């Protein structure tokens, strides 16, 4: 949600944000509704006050004056019966458009239409060069008897999977390593609810524009989260946080769910695009300071890079362009990790700054100079599986199908240095 004064006084900024982000929203229609809403509020409040004054005055009036007063009271009732429903309709349309207005990108954000226009910032690590035909992650998982797809699809539908044996422990190791990294850096670890009310989705900006990507539990009117960012931010909704507690650094771990609408035919093999996954998410709630927000944005980004470097995985960082940003983001960087089977980098992390966009929608404030002020929020993935699992398996495979475990991950794998194949294909040689 945006500052109304910004929208009213500088609508051209919002129109430009809508244009460069590719978000179809009628700013002029919103301004028209905004003006009508303010006018109706004044009229309705004035009528209600007059009605209240009359109700108190009528019993004390001279009998000769009462007919005229009662006549006026009846006229007020009729006017309110016309204006109050109109105000409700206008407010509903006004709020719907308000929730669709885009947050203007921060200065320096690349202007573009899609991910193809994102700007590469840096590449880190060497892309592996194999002296043998490398396997993709599905071949490796099958070699290790570590995945079941057909059985999962049988009872859970497409894009479902079962991890087993070494893959279970490897996924858990990645999550625990990520949590430990954040705990050591002052983040509060939190295991959060995955079913939330609609106001949590609206508050974090996933509704109304992203509703089609979210699973809805209709009987309970709850929604499955696509990231623990939703729960972490919502945990502070309608709170005034003591300023001395800011920046508030939170680390959420949860299963996550996405419908993957529009992905039919894309990434149908393997675990790159699935409906359910595990993730450790970083969230910061901070004072309203753009310079500090950028510093914290870089902190979140560095945390993710540090994890990838500990895992000895090659990656690149891209500055996300306007057309590939979300509605609320003012600054965004993606980290894409090399995946040999794709022959390219695949997105594994998204680092986003929102300024006060989420805080306004969620009612998250702090006191500054004795007055409440909306906070700033930021987030970034630290570890998401199975995508990180894909990169780990494919980059660290050996010719016999065994998997090298980087030293930083070994304490979480019981000291194991190499995972040896164990599946029915383990003894088969590959041509």
98-134 per-position pLDDT tens digit:
999 999 999 999 999 999 999 999 999 999 999 999 9
pLDDT in tens, 235-266: 999 999 999 999 999 999 999 999 987 776 77
Q: Where are the domains of the chain?
A: 4-98, 115-419
- pLDDT band per the 50, 70, 90 thresholds, residue 363: very high
pLDDT in tens, 171-215: 999 999 999 999 999 999 999 999 999 999 999 999 999 999 999
Residue 431 reports pLDDT greater than 80: no
CA distances from 22 to 25, 321, 387 (A): 9, 11, 28
pLDDT for the residue 283: 98
Check if the beta carbon of residue 335 is closer than 8 Å to that of residue 316.
yes
SS3 sequence of 68-102 = HHHHHHHHHHHHHHHHHHHHHHHHHHHHHHHCCCC
Question: Which residues touch 104 (CB under 8 Å, ≥6 apart)?
Answer: 13, 14, 16, 17, 330
Residues annotated as part of the active site: 258, 273, 347, 350, 387
Residue 299 reports pLDDT greater than 60: yes
Q: What pTM did the predictor assign?
A: 0.92
Q: Kind of pairing, strands 222-224 and 147-148?
A: unpaired
Q: For the chain, what is the mean pLDDT? A: 95
What architecture does CATH give domain 4-98?
Orthogonal Bundle (1.10)
The CB density around residue 259, as the number of other CB atoms within 10 Å, is 16
What's the CATH number for 115-419?
3.30.930.10
Pairwise CA distance, residues 422 & 346, whole Å? 28
Q: What 8-state DSSP symbol labels residue 327? A: S
Residue 231 reports pLDDT greater than 70: yes
Q: What 8-state DSSP symbol labels residue 48? A: H
**In 269-386, which ranges are continuous DSSP H helix?**
290-310, 357-362
Give the phi and the psi of residue 59 in degrees, each rounded to 5: -60, -20
Residue 427 reports pLDDT greater than 90: no
pLDDT for the residue 266: 78
Least confident of 48-62, 155-169, 357-371, 390-404: 48-62
Q: Which runs of E-coded beta strand occur in 221-328? A: 222-224, 240-241, 248-257, 276-286, 315-319
């Amino acid at each position: 949600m945006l500052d109304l004064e910004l929208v009213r006084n500088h609508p051209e900024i919002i129109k430009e944000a809508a244009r460069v982000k590719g978000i179809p929203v009628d700013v002029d229609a919103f301004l028209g509704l905004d003006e009508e809403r303010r006018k109706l509020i004044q009229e309705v409040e004035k009528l209600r006050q007059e009605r209240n004054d009359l109700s108190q005055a009528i019993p004390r009036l001279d009998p000769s004056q009462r007919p005229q007063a009662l006549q006026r009271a009846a006229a007020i009732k009729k006017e309110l019966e016309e204006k109050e429903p109109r105000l409700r309709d206008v407010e509903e349309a006004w709020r719907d458009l308000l929730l669709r207005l885009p947050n203007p990108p921060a200065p320096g954000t690349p202007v573009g239409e899609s991910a193809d226009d994102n700007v590469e910032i840096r590449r880190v690590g060497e892309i592996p060069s194999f002296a043998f035909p490398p396997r993709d992650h599905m071949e490796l998982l099958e070699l290790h008897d570590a995945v079941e797809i057909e059985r999962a699809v049988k009872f859970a539908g497409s894009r479902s999977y079962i991890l087993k044996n070494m893959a279970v422990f490897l996924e858990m190791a990645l999550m625990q390593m990520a949590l430990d990294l954040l705990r050591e850096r002052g983040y509060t670890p939190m295991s959060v609810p995955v079913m939330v009310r609609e106001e949590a989705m609206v508050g974090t900006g996933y509704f109304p524009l992203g509703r089609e990507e979210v699973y809805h539990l209709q009987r309970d009117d709850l929604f499955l989260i696509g990231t623990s960012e939703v729960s972490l931010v919502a945990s502070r909704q309608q709170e005034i946080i003591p300023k001395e507690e800011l920046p508030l650094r939170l680390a959420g771990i949860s299963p996550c769910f996405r419908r993957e609408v529009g992905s039919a035919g894309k990434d149908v093999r393997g675990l790159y695009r699935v409906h359910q996954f595990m993730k450790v998410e970083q969230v910061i709630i901070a004072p309203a300071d753009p310079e500090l927000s950028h510093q914290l944005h870089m902190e979140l980004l560095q945390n993710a890079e540090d994890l990838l470097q500990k895992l000895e995985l090659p990656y690149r960082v891209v500055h996300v362009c306007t057309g590939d940003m979300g509605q609320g983001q003012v600054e965004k960087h993606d980290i894409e990790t090399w995946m040999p089977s794709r022959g390219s980098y695949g997105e594994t992390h998204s680092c986003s700054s929102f300024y006060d966009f989420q805080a306004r929608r969620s009612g998250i404030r702090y006191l500054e100079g004795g007055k409440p002020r909306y906070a700033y929020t930021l987030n970034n993935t630290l570890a998401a599986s199975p995508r990180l699992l894909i990169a780990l398996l494919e980059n660290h495979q050996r010719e016999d199908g065994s998997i090298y475990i980087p030293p930083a991950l070994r304490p979480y794998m019981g000291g194991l240095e190499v995972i040896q194949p164990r599946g029915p294909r383990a003894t088969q040689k590959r041509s």
